[in-house]
Amino acid sequence: MNHLQTLNQYRSMWVLVFFDLPTETRLERKAASGFRKRLLDDGFNMFQFSIYLRFCPSRENSAVHIKRTKNNLPKKGKVCIMQITDKQFGMMELFHGKKEVEKETGTQQLELF
C-alpha cells in the first residue's frame, strides 16, 4: 500500500471526545483535570473547553485511542466519543465571533468666546 492510499481522506480519522464532568467538589475537579491531562498525554488537543480531538491516520489507530480513552473514563459525568473521517472533518464550518468594538466618537473641542 503506498503512502497516498494510507493517508486518504476516507481512511484517516478524527476522534472527538465531548464531556461534561462535575466540578463541585475537590475530588470531582481533580478527576476532571486528570481526565483532560490524560487526553493531552494521549495526543489530543483542546478544540473547545470540553471538546478534545485527535487526528489518527487509520481506523485501527483511532480504535487504539478510543480504547485508551474508555479505560480512563471518570466515574461521574458524561463522556461522548465520536470518530469521523478526515473528509467529514474537512467539511466542518467554523465561526469565530469577535467582540463588537464601539466606534470611537470624535473628541469634543470646547470653544471659548
| Residue 9 pLDDT greater than 60, yes or no | yes
Domains of the chain, CATH where assigned: 3-87 (3.30.70.240)
The closest of 62, 68, 64 to 82, measured between CA atoms, is 62
In 3-state terms, what secondary structure has residue 36?
A: helix
Mean pLDDT of the 24-42 span:
97
86-106: pLDDT as tens digits: 999 999 988 888 766 666 655
Q: What is the pLDDT of residue 56?
A: 96
| Residue 108 pLDDT greater than 90, yes or no | no
| Residue 5 pLDDT greater than 90, yes or no | no
Q: How far apart are CA 56 and CA 19, in angstroms?
A: 20
Confidence of residue 8 (pLDDT cuts 50, 70, 90): confident
